[in-house]
Structure formats: C-alpha cells, structure tokens
Amino acid sequence: MNKLPVILLILLSACAQPSLQPVMVAKKMFQVNADEKFINAHSTGDYRGSPSGRDLPADMQRSFLLLQQRDETSTVALNLRQGNLIADKYLFFTKDSGSWKLSGIGTPTLARLNVRKLQAMQALSPAAIDSTLREAQQYTDPEYKTREEFDFIVNSLQLKLAPDDTLIAHFHKYRPAFDSLLIAAKQALRQPYDEYNSLVNTKTPAYRPLLISNISTGGFLPKECIDFHILYDQVGYLYTPDEKYLPELRPDKVMMVRKLGRGWYLYKVAIYL
C-alpha cells in the first residue's frame, strides 16, 4: 500500500491547524514552569522572553482578558495576585508568520513618583498637615490650600495607583454621578470653551467623590473621546459614542482601554506623571 498520500494528508492537516489565539499564547507563556521553547518561539520585537511564568512565584494567581484584537495586533491584560499584592500588566502581541507572538509588555513607567508622593503625604501628622496648609496660604497657586483639597489629592493618588478592578468598581459605585457629569460635559462642548481648562468644574459637592480632576477632549486620545482624568493624568475614564474612535493600543502610548458599558471605558497610557 502506498503510504505517501497518508503522509501528505497528515502534513496538510498539521498545516491547516489554526494558530493559537493571543489569550491562549499568554496563558502558556505565563503558566507555572512555562516551556522555554514555547516562550522563545512566541517572542518577537522588544520582548526577549522575560518576564514570563518561569519568573513568577508558583502560588501567584494569573488571569487574562482580551482587550483589543485587530488583524495584525492584539492586547491582553494580565492580572497577577499574591496575597495583598495585585499587579496589572498589558501584553502586546504581533502576528508574525501566521503566529501570534509577544512583542512587548506595557506598564506605567513613572508610577513610582506617585507612590513616593502618596507615601510622603500619608506620613504627615495632623499637626504637620496644618503647618503645610498655613505655609501654602503664602503662595498664589499652591497644589492645595485646605484639608479638603489635601484629602482629594491623597484619595486621587490612591485611586490612580489602584488595580484595574478597583478603578472599575469606583466607576460603577458612582455611575449615576458620572452620567450626570457626562451630560454637563456634552453641554459645555456646545459652547466656546478654553481647551486648557476643565470642561466642567469637578470639585463641586456632587462631583468631588468621583475624584476627577479635569475633563478634556483630544490630546493623546482621539477628539471624539471625552476624557475624565484622575489627578490631571493620562489615567481615568473616557466616553465615546462609537468604539471605532478608540485608539489602537500600544505599549508606548495608550496601553489599556477596558469597556465599562454604554460608551464608557477605563484607560491608561504608558507614561503618566
């Protein structure tokens, strides 16, 4: 019996098998004792095989979520948990020779500055805070002049540095107020406005709990998006009438956009101050 056709069928069947999708590739690369050959075969660009599952503690929990997928690029969120430690990373994949390969990992590169600032503010005693506030009265435009403004910054730093799930929970907790703020922002956009100032005053009693420092459009996000910033930074929430306006995710620019429903999204960029 001629075995050649059988061999050809086996080869053709192997070639016809679809490549692993990005989430599955991510799971295999970050599982406990990940296979080094698999990691090397699915690495490209700036990613050189580390960090991977081989570098993580065995008891660290890992979860994955597809954020965006296009013809040649894809982004997967990686959540890591170990006790009280929670970290979010963003895995960027490129289609290379028909296979999805990890090309880069996104993470806020200047977050340590915010951590140090938060720790310094939290370390102040009530007497030290009062002294700082008295000194602030001497300046025309200090970062804060009152205890309310001081607390707003502390709470905003805590939120900005929090895991994605905490940021999402914060949004849903205050969803009615966010929707009200969106209506006010849309109304402001119908009138002439100063692009250097917030579209809406977010420090009123109704909006202060949202911890939104300012609202803008354009900049690092498409002009069709309305951006609700946390502490004047490129991390917060955005609204857009159509997801076609969302930016393509990149490890060096907008690195995360996560759907919240009815046109709302959570977003982060690679570098924020």
Query: What is residue 220's predicted lDDT score, i.e. its pLDDT?
Result: 80
Residue 270 reports pLDDT greater than 90: no
Residue 146 lies in a domain: yes
- Full domain range(s) for residue 69: 14-106
Query: What is residue 9's predicted lDDT score, i.e. its pLDDT?
Result: 47
Note whether 134 and 224 are same-domain residues. yes
Query: What is residue 11's predicted lDDT score, i.e. its pLDDT?
Result: 47
pTM of the model: 0.89
CATH number of the domain enclosing 20:
3.10.450
CA–CA gap between residue 99 and residue 19 (Å, rounded): 6
Which of 73, 106, 139 lies at the terminal end of a domain, its last residue? Answer: 106
What are all long-range contacts of 248-254, with beta carbons under 8 Å and residues at least 24 apart? 248/68, 248/70, 248/73, 249/67, 249/68, 249/73, 249/75, 249/90, 249/92, 249/106, 250/92, 250/106, 251/46, 251/90, 251/92, 251/103, 251/104, 251/105, 251/106, 252/106, 253/220, 254/220, 254/221
Packed helices 147-160 and 126-136: angle between N→C axes, nearest 10 degrees: 110
- Nearest residue to 170 via CA among 201, 133, 211, 131: 211
Confidence of residue 271 (pLDDT cuts 50, 70, 90): low
Note whether 142 and 213 are same-domain residues. yes
Note whether 155 and 89 are same-domain residues. no
Which of 64, 91, 106 lies at the terminal end of a domain, its last residue? Answer: 106
**Tens-place pLDDT, residues 80-128:** 999 999 999 999 999 999 999 999 999 876 688 889 999 999 999 999 9
- Nearest residue to 121 via CA among 92, 147, 87: 147
Residue 5 lies in a domain: no
* For range 55-60, the mean pLDDT: 96
Residue 183 lies in a domain: yes
Average pLDDT, the chain: 91
Residue 8 reports pLDDT greater than 70: no
CB 210 within 8 A of CB 178: yes
- Nearest residue to 159 via CA among 233, 106, 72: 233
Note whether 95 and 47 are same-domain residues. yes
Note whether 26 and 123 are same-domain residues. no
**Tens-place pLDDT, residues 227-248:** 999 998 779 999 999 999 999 9
Note whether 247 and 120 are same-domain residues. yes
Residue 74 lies in a domain: yes
Note whether 126 and 180 are same-domain residues. yes
Residue 4 lies in a domain: no
CA–CA gap between residue 93 and residue 53 (Å, rounded): 16
Residue 7 lies in a domain: no
Confidence of residue 73 (pLDDT cuts 50, 70, 90): very high
- Nearest residue to 239 via CA among 214, 220, 272, 266: 266
How many domains are contained in the chain?
2
The SS3 of residue 1 is coil
Residue 2 lies in a domain: no
Note whether 99 and 115 are same-domain residues. no
Note whether 233 and 168 are same-domain residues. yes
**Tens-place pLDDT, residues 168-181:** 999 999 999 999 99
